[in-house]
Amino acid sequence: MKNYSVAAMNPDVYLCALYEEFPAELLDVIIRLTAGKRCPPLTPGDICDAPDRVGVTEFASRTRARLV
């Protein structure tokens, strides 16, 4: 039987791990999301506030520090 090394983790840990592995790509996605929002317009800070409101605080803090 093959071992796929699957692990369960909370969203904050998962997103922080993605951020550590792909920081430039993740920040680029946030910037592209804000560029595409017109009604209502959003800033990168607005995008960083959304995870913070649902308890993904460490990821929000890390991305906000780089974008704002």
pTM across the whole model: 0.79
Six-digit token string for 2: 């093959």
- Contacting residues for 32 by C-beta, under 8 A, at least 6 apart: none
- Taking only the tens of pLDDT, the chain with its 68 residues reads 788 888 889 999 999 999 999 999 999 998 998 888 888 888 888 888 999 999 999 999 999 999 86
Sketch the domain layout of the chain as residue ranges: 11-67
Distance CA 23, CA 17 (A): 10
